[in-house]
Every structure is written in C-alpha cells, then in structure tokens.
Chains A and B, each alone.
Chain A
C-alpha cells in the first residue's frame, strides 16, 4: 500500500506532536508516525511525566515525615508499589490518550509503526499491525529523539542493571540501589527510590553533582539530597559491574574511594542520553549527521536535504522537551512559508529534585568560561517569609546581570517550586528586562516569587527583608 502526504512527522514526542498539530492547524495534511500507540514520546511514556508522578509521591512521603517536627505525626508510611505503579501508569495513559484524541480531532493521520527512509521523499513504515505502508511526502520533519547512553564496558545483561526506562517501570523497591551519574536523571530517580525506602548511593565521575549548573545553587540542593541518600561518591568512577548471587558487585575507582568493592541489589545507569540518528535509513537521504551523532540543521531547522527538517534531541543539546516543541513550531512555520528562525534568548532547564533547581539564560559558570563580564545579585531564601512558613528556607534566587545596561542575562533558582518560578526569569530574559524593571514590578506577598524582586533589590543594595551594610 502506498499513500501520499503533505507533511510527514517521524517521532511523536513533544517536538513531533507539537509540529504535527500546528501543521494541521495551519491546514496541512499531516501524517505522524510513532512506535507507541499514542503520541507522547519519551517525555510522556518514559521520561518527564512518569518521573514527575513518582517525584510527587516522594515529596508527599518526605513532607509527611518532616511534619513530625511541626506537630503532626503520621507514623511510618505503608508503601504499595503496585498501586504507585498504577497511579504512574494512569497519569501516562491519561496524557498520551489525550494526545491521541487531539491528533484525531485535528485529523492528523497517526500511524503506529517504524518509518525507514527509502529516499529523500518517501518512507516505508513497518506498522504495528504487521503490514507495511509506503508514504510519499512533500516535506518531512525528523523528530526521532534520544535514548539513554550506555557506558562502554558497563553494559552487562542483567535484570538488576537498569536505565531510566527500567527505573521508571518501578517493578520493585530494591534495598540497596546504586545510581551511576549525578546528573538530573540520576538525582531525580535516586530521590524517588530513596523516599520509597531504598538505600541509595550516587556515584559521579566529576567533582560535583549536576555538572554544568552553578555551584552555589547545587550546594543548596546537595545539602538536602545528601541527607536523603545513604552515600554520594564524587570524583569516582565505576570500573566494573559483575552479577553475583547477592546482586551486582561494583568496583569503584577514585582518590576518595575507601570501599572499592560493594554489592547492590540494583544499579541505575543514568549517564546521559544520545540522539537516535541511525537505524532508519537516514543514509538514503541527503541529511548530514555530525561527528557527535547530531543531525546538522540551520536556524530554520532545515537539514541538508531540502525535503527534510529535523528538530529536538537529534539536533543537539539541551535535550529538553520544550526546546523540541519550539523547534517543531519553527520547522512547520518555515514549511508554511513564514520567515521563522529558532533564535531564543534562553532555554530554561529544571531539575525536579526536592528542592528543585532551575535556570534560564546565562549561568555564572558559562559567563566565566566564555569570559563574559557579569554582575551577580543573590537573595537567599532564609530571608523569605513564605519560605519560612513552609519551613523550607533552603533556597536561593540569583540574577546574572550585564554591567552597565543592568540587563538580566540569566536567572538561577534553587528551592521549593523553583521549576515553576523560573518562567518569570525566562520572560524577563526574552523581554530584555533589566534589574530596575524587576525591582519595580510589584510581586504578590507572601510568595516565593517575591525572591525575584528581592534579588533585584539586593542589586541596588536595599532589599527590604535583608540588611547588607553598604560596601565602600
């Protein structure tokens, strides 16, 4: 069977479905191919969404436990893993089903299957029902996403060794869990298992958690996360995994290692993700892939093949759902004849641990690396009324400021709800707001969002809730 379509979108993640839906809204005839039953991609099926459902549970457990301090004692929680899994799967089902519905309403032709390029203008789709369909298209958007990276030498075939996908399935709560990689995936999932009762050890190769994020923010997060985990090994490498009777025997290497051989019930490998740019006939097109495995595109998301655009994780870092969606919309607008370009002033990033850590735009670290001169204004949440009422003074809001113009180039936050509050920073950066704008914008009291305004006031040396003697 062979059909024709105006726009073919390969991959139904947040990049692919956002592109497909916009294209349909603009009147294009769209075919969306994905291997799952409904659109959603890694984000909805085995990424952002299920992990957030589990982190919500982790937070409930932790808050109930801490309530004892303020006069409410719940007792030890009883954990029903099957029920938790059901809740998580329910969330995934509801959202992906909703997307399937939205695709139908928009008359997007959704095909469950795997597309392989025959040439620059057609694909062959091995459908989930066992049949094959050839689809010819005018334009295609490639949005095949990414998968967890493997560590060479550490990939042993054992049910006890999982990647993020396996960890999210939540088959059981192991007694002892090792998380390899102290990045956001490792910390988020490690937090979940720790809250559910696992003794979690995190091992990170570099000298700090969350490489790339500003150290002052990470310090706040690390304090609480450290108390949650049974151990965090920095500057440490895992050199061997071996399945033994009791579990997985792990060999560590590093200057601080005191116990180089330990046994864990399960190991989670979360060392990063890699783009999926092979295995679907990309070589039958003119699309170019660079040495790091990313598809080469211009600012209009055009590949070297005039009929093919590419978006999302496969075109480069950061591998984030909201970046993919924004790129997907640019690609569709360009196909629709608009002069759109992907040129954001910032792409926010959030680590959904407790506390949350988020940033938008320039970080202090990046400014230092690139030699960009900046000024920093920080407001520690110890001085926030709202944080005190929550008994969560562990937080920090910081502004990265361009000297002279006082323009806000970056915003960083750590603390309860930072992931939601960073949106204000994102808007401030995109709108080219300056510190004065922030300090003159009345923020609601008492809220954590006031810390943005307060950080701006710190810059001028007169924050209401904080006294700092003037430097001369």
Chain B
C-alpha cells in the first residue's frame, strides 16, 4: 500500500512552506531518516527526513511549489517485504478502488480538502498547548519532540460541548475546540461554529493581529484596481519570506508608535583605527566593519539604557527586561530581508563579533539560517551605508523596542576650534517604540552611541 508523505508540522504559526528541493524521484529507494525535502518556511530553510525506509512511487508536487502543512508531497511504498509482496499490495489497492466504499471515502476526503481550502488551513497557532502536541508529531529535524507523560485514560477535566464528529473536524483543521464559541443552539458548538472560528482566525492572522500581544485588530482594506486597464502587467506569487516580511512589518507598524531620532557621528578617528586593525581581524576570519564595531557599541549602550533591551506586554501590563545582549543585523539577500542575531555581543570582543558576522551573513546568503538563528534579538541594526542615502526611518523589529539605522558616511566640513575641518560623518537614525521609550531617553541613548564611536576608548571605561 502506498503511503502519502505529507508536509509535516514545522512549528508554531507555520501554515505552509515553499518546497525548495525534492531530493528523491520516482523509483528511488530511501532509508529511514534520509533527507527527502528541503523546505523554506518563514525565513528558515529546513531539511525534512522520511520516517521509514521505502521506495518512492510518485512525486506529487514540483520544486518551487508552495504547499500547506499536511499536503501530500509524494507517495512511497514502505519497505515491508520483498518486491513481490509490494506488487501484490498495489494490485490489491487497484482493485479496491472500484468498491463504492472506497469511492465514498475518497469523496469525503475531497470534501474535507475543499472545506479546508475554503477556510484556508489554519495552523494550530491559536493554542500554545496544542502546538506542543502537534509539533511533537512528525519532524525530528526541528527538534521539537517532547517526552510523553500524561496517561490518557484519565478523563479530561473540560469537555467541549460539541459532538464527537465536530470535535474530530476541529482536530483535523487544527482548531482547539475549547476556543470556539457556540453560536446559540443551547451552547452547543456546531461544525459551522468551528468553520466560522477558523475563518475569523485566518482574517486575524492575515491582518497581522494574531499571535502577539498588543492586538492589531482589523483595518480598512481597499480592493486593488484592475491594473491591466493601464498596460501590461505580470503576476508573481509572493515568496514565503516576502509574505512573512510584509505581515511582520505591517504588524510592527500598526502596533508600535514609532519615533525616529537622527544624529551624526564623527568617525574620522574610528576609521583610522579600523584600517589599522583590519588585517588582524581578517586573520581571525572576519572583516573589521563599522557594523561589527557598532554591534559592540550598542551592546554596551543597552547595559546603560536597559529600557532599550525590553519588550512590552500590553495584555499583562508588563515590561519584560532582558538580561542578554543579542543584536539583530539586517542582511540583504537575493530572497529578501533577513535579520539573523549575533548572540551575547556583550561577552565578545570586536574581532569575535566580526567573525560571527561573517559567519551569519554567509549562512543567510546560502539559505542555511534556521529559525533559531533569527530569534531572540534585543535590538536590531540596519546598515544601508554600503549603498546610499542620508537618513531613513527604519521600522522597529517587534517585539524589540528599537532599531538603529546607519546611512552612508561622507566627508563634511565640521566647525572645530574656530575653523572648518574635513571630518568623516556617519548619519544614524534611531527608531524606537514610544510606548516605553521617551524622547529624552532616545536622545541620551544616541548621544551615548555617538560618543562611543567618536572616542572608542570610552567603551573600555564604561562598556
């Protein structure tokens, strides 16, 4: 009997993935745990192994396709016996197809698929408890396996007022039945209630409101005009990275009251040092860039200004202060914007940071970044200095509360000691979350950063 290899649960909030590579083709024999797929989801690339050995019978999707979690990618014949019994099995399968029962069940699955399509497939994002349960399921590569503990036969404390078929339907589309509200009918949850809930969750997710505190709510939407009225157009599907970036930045923009503070740093002296020590850094595997130095400076600044290393929880009325110093760094790749994180920047020297930076940039460009590589940042840095521009207003990478934008440095006349001198000036743009950071704090923060850049020795004193 051929078994469908379905796209496994890949983690919280992940509804679909782009299939980068299918590493098997029809007739291939695969071993247990052999990597069969390369996927890209929400900015991370992952490899998916097969759980049992077998022979690939049919590949159902193409490379580059976008597939929902649970979609069949290929079918395979598990290695259960010799070739003969395999053949027998498939014959059995064929003759069976004609029986009405089989057809009926097929119809049912088609219907189910349609239902799912209608509601889109909501991931189990709604309930963190549920996520653990389902994440435990198939994929070892993301390492989400949790040990079993509870004994099932203890009856649950809470039984949702829904019939067994409705409870099963909710399971199948990944909805926690306990979060569905009954529409009436004496408090009983119907299949329509589950569908309506799934639909509302999808709308919430696509408006960027779900899964995070603060709540974006729904926004007025304008329908797009028919552009072909004005000339030729070309339509392309949005990549996962693009979609995620769009969702994430819309969410950040809608929930965070942004203010951007501008300043210039005189890096004439810093530039001399940078050139002087460049070779030494290269020997250590990195490049002594302004970004590397900035990361060190900002890590030190966060210690002086802890509110810049925090997150805000509006639901619980809490501010979360972080005791770690991880700096996110925006990397421009062929596939779009990625923000990997340099960890524990406070405990590393500039040379180590430079080496780290080289490593993660390489990973980002070779699509080897994992989701983990991009999580847990304290604050982010976006350096466009290599390209052009004077100032810009970066968007805070929520749930962080600040981001420092760096623009192209230029020689400028600076009035020093009664005369103009040519100095290398670097424009900085600090965007921050005004809910937690006051304007004066931001001005003090950027002043501290500028002084550190202008007098590198300050770092050794205060950092």
Find chain B residues with CB under 8 A from A436 CB: 186
Contact A432 B1 (CB under 8 A): no
Interface string of B370-414 (1 = CB under 8 A from A): 000000000000000000000000000000000000000000000
Query: Most chain-A Cβ atoms within 10 A of its Cβ — which of B52, B136, B155, B189?
Result: B155
Q: Which residue of A lies closest to B154 (CB)?
A: A316
Contact A316 B186 (CB under 8 A): no
Q: Is A87 positioned at the interface, with any CB of B under 8 Å from its CB?
A: no
Contact B161 A432 (CB under 8 A): yes
Contact B152 A27 (CB under 8 A): no
Interface string of B117-157 (1 = CB under 8 A from A): 00000000000000001001000000000011111111111
Contact B78 A6 (CB under 8 A): yes
Contact B3 A337 (CB under 8 A): yes
Contact A304 B148 (CB under 8 A): yes
Find chain A residues with CB under 8 A from B167 CB: 343
Find chain B residues with CB under 8 A from A297 CB: 148, 151-152
Find chain B residues with CB under 8 A from A432 CB: 159-163, 187-189
Find chain B residues with CB under 8 A from A346 CB: 155
User: What are 16 of the A-B contact pairs (CB < 8 Å)?
Assistant: A28-B1, A29-B1, A138-B52, A296-B148, A296-B151, A301-B152, A315-B151, A316-B151, A316-B154, A337-B3, A337-B6, A342-B152, A343-B156, A432-B159, A432-B162, A434-B186
Q: Which residue of A lies closest to B53 (CB)?
A: A138
Contact B153 A296 (CB under 8 A): no
Find chain B residues with CB under 8 A from A437 CB: 186
Q: Is A278 positioned at the interface, with any CB of B under 8 Å from its CB?
A: no
Find chain A residues with CB under 8 A from B85 CB: 29
Other A-B pairs beyond A4-B79, A315-B152, A432-B163, 13, CB < 8 Å: A4-B80, A29-B1, A29-B89, A296-B148, A297-B152, A298-B136, A299-B150, A301-B152, A323-B153, A342-B152, A370-B157, A406-B186, A432-B189
Complex Cα spacing A345 to B188, Å: 14
List B residues at the A interface (Cβ < 8 Å): 1, 3-4, 6, 51-52, 78-81, 85, 89, 92-93, 96, 133, 136, 147-157, 159-164, 167-168, 171-172, 186-189
Q: Is A5 positioned at the interface, with any CB of B under 8 Å from its CB?
A: yes
Q: Is A90 positioned at the interface, with any CB of B under 8 Å from its CB?
A: no
Find chain B residues with CB under 8 A from A4 CB: 79-81
Find chain B residues with CB under 8 A from A227 CB: none
Find chain A residues with CB under 8 A from B92 CB: 27
Total CB contacts across the A-B interface at under 8 A: 98
Question: Which of A6, A370, A405, A430 touches B164 (beta carbons < 8 Å)?
Answer: A430
Contact B151 A294 (CB under 8 A): yes
CB of A320, distance to nearest CB on chain B (Å)? 10
Q: Which residue of B lies closest to A333 (CB)?
A: B168
Contact B161 A6 (CB under 8 A): no
Interchain residue pairs A-B with the least CB separation, the first 8: A316-B153, A432-B161, A27-B1, A4-B81, A6-B80, A345-B159, A431-B163, A298-B148
CB of B126, distance to nearest CB on chain A (Å)? 15
Complex Cα spacing A27 to B89, Å: 8
Complex Cα spacing A340 to B170, Å: 11
Complex Cα spacing A432 to B162, Å: 6
Find chain B residues with CB under 8 A from A5 CB: 80-81
Q: Is A51 positioned at the interface, with any CB of B under 8 Å from its CB?
A: no
Complex Cα spacing A179 to B6, Å: 55
CB of B163, distance to nearest CB on chain A (Å)? 5
Contact B81 A430 (CB under 8 A): no
CB of B392, distance to nearest CB on chain A (Å)? 47
Find chain A residues with CB under 8 A from B164 CB: 344-345, 430-431
Q: Is A403 positioned at the interface, with any CB of B under 8 Å from its CB?
A: no
Question: Given A405-B186, A432-B161, A432-B162: A340 and B148 within 8 A (CB)?
Answer: no
Find chain A residues with CB under 8 A from B154 CB: 316
Q: Which residue of B lies closest to A366 (CB)?
A: B155
CB of B137, distance to nearest CB on chain A (Å)? 8
Interface string of A275-302 (1 = CB under 8 A from B): 0000000000000101000101111011
Interface residues of A in 14-46 (CB under 8 A from B): 27-29
Find chain A residues with CB under 8 A from B96 CB: 27
Q: Which residue of A lies closest to B160 (CB)?
A: A432
Question: Which of A29, A323, A341 touches B80 (beta carbons < 8 Å)?
Answer: A29
Find chain A residues with CB under 8 A from B6 CB: 337
CB of B122, distance to nearest CB on chain A (Å)? 13
Complex Cα spacing A327 to B151, Å: 13
CB of B189, distance to nearest CB on chain A (Å)? 8
Find chain B residues with CB under 8 A from A299 CB: 133, 150, 152
Find chain A residues with CB under 8 A from B80 CB: 4-6, 29, 138
Question: Given A302-B148, A339-B171, A405-B186: A27 and B153 within 8 A (CB)?
Answer: no
